[in-house]
Amino acid sequence: MMMLTRFTGGNSLRRSFRLSLDILKSRSMTRNSSSFVHSFQFPKEIRSNSFLSRSFSISSQRFSSVVQFKLADIGEGIREVEVKEWYVKVGDQVKQFDQICEVQSDKANVTITSRYDGKIAKLYYHVNDTAIVGEPLVDIQLEGAADQPVVGTKTATVVAEETPVEIPMMNKNSVSNALATPAVRRLAKELQISLNDVQGTGKDGRILKEDLINFKSSPTKEESSSTTSIVPPPSPITAKSTSTIPTLKSRPTTTTMTDRTEPIKGIRKAMVKTMTAANQIPHFTYCDEYDMTELVQLRKKFTAEHKMKKEKIKISFLPFIIKATSLALNNSPMLNSHVDSKCENLTIKGSHNIGIAMDTKDGLLVPNIKNVQQLSVMQISEELQRLQQLGRAGKLSQDDLTGGTFSLSNIGAIGGTYAVPVLLLPEVAIGALGKIVRRVVPDEENDESSSDDEENYPSLKIRSMMSVSWSADHRVIDGATMARFSNELKFLIENPLHLLIHQ
């Protein structure tokens, strides 16, 4: 490295500096020319004006060995994600395609992998923080690069180095790691309160000013013990005068609970956007009741046969209903379609990708089973179990959550009987399935209510009934279309042998 000095001043200063550069660029310069340059002496009055000079360095290493690994665009117009889990920490060595972290968008969970070989120098986010697409995610010290890269500074002797900031592990027993703002810490010092003794009610246990005030106002063990004293018995005269005053029960001691505010983000933020858009669409609801008695008996026989074969297979009613829905959609293809945002085109989908609404820890998700029209009831059950396991673990992929053409919401699994489902755009129809209940219903096959004999009453029987509610986009779907679809689905469920024939 060779140090040069650039001066600012009048014309004489610039001519002197230009002369030194011409000497350096000369082709006839020999190896000893560098010593000539070093021995070159500027005028004394120029050298004395050192305050007008600014030094700079010329380094062979022009770029820093630490690269910023930015969060790339993961598609679907997603601009921000939530960091769910870090697979690395500061100081870890990573290779290309090694997992760095897992992020969650409003559509799915995505695993971010490294594009470089090197060492993790800095993490920009904590768990549950919101990361922005295009912004730095981590800093990586490239493999084989110098640990302390030389960068230009105002003086030739100072080398700047960026120290990576590690994400500290919070320790509730450490004062330095207590989550509190400087203002809260100052207030705690004024009130002579140790932050270790205060239970924070803010996000992630953050200590708020209200927590300090409540802690200060509540009596401590020492105060309560000091205030307890032995009260001498009242004199006979006092006791006689106070005996006529009725004793009032004291008000029960209660503690005011602190409110908690949580930001709406991730999947719940997507629900806000989706439901707001869906409720702008004029849609209607059609309700009916299905007799599930035959399907209940068929499922019992199905389960018993597998027990005899010592096969551990658990199948619910939902795979039968999903298969019946696909068969009914064959004669009502408009219900298996998408409509564009301006409602100018209706795209009838060839595949029956039936979505199932799931209640997960992160919010409402609707993964879908692809190509139900080509699957058997058992294959549908296996795929449904796979999606349910991923949903509980928060590992549903973007492919599982996109591409749906028709949706079902099994509210009966939780205990609901009736529901009015909301459309999942751009789909045009959705159904809500209530719980199966045993109820007394008239026997329509032996209905004698039309007889003139008043002593004859219609025969009754106990059946397993399920209420169903359908919602549809009234801009493109009419009530008659939905009624015909529901009637066909009702026939298939009440006669489940047809499901096995058409597998």
Beginning with the edge strand found earlier in the chain, give each strand of the sheet holding 368-369 in spatial order.
283-291, 460-473, 429-442, 406-409, 354-356, 368-369
**Is 478 among the catalytic positions?**
yes
The contacts of residue 56 (CB under 8 Å, 6+ apart) are 4, 6, 152, 156
- Consecutive H or E run containing 23: helix 11-25
HSE at residue 446, side-chain half, CA atoms within 13 A, is: 8
Neighbours of 393 (CB within 10 A): 11
DSSP state of 164: P
Neighbours of 384 (CB within 10 A): 19
SS3 state at 127: coil
SS3 state at 488: helix
Question: Which of 399, 443, 478, 502 does the annotation list as catalytic?
Answer: 478
| Dihedral pair phi/psi, residue 424, rounded to 5° | -110, 95
**Is 288 among the catalytic positions?**
no
Instruction: Tell me the two tokens of residue 252.
Output: 């029960």
Question: Which of 117, 288, 291, 474 does the annotation list as catalytic?
Answer: 474
Distance, CA of 96 to CA of 69 (rounded, Å): 12
Q: Could you tell me the sign of the dihedral formed by the alpha carbons of 361, 352, 475, 340, in that order? A: positive
Distance, CA of 363 to CA of 272 (rounded, Å): 11
Instruction: Tell me the two tokens of residue 331.
Output: 């004669």
∠ at Cα 435 (429, 439), nearest 5°?
120
Say if residue 189 is exposed, middle or buried (CB neighbours under 10 Å; 0-12, 13-18, 19+): exposed
Contact 481, 332 (CB under 8 A): yes
Which residues carry out catalysis?
474, 478
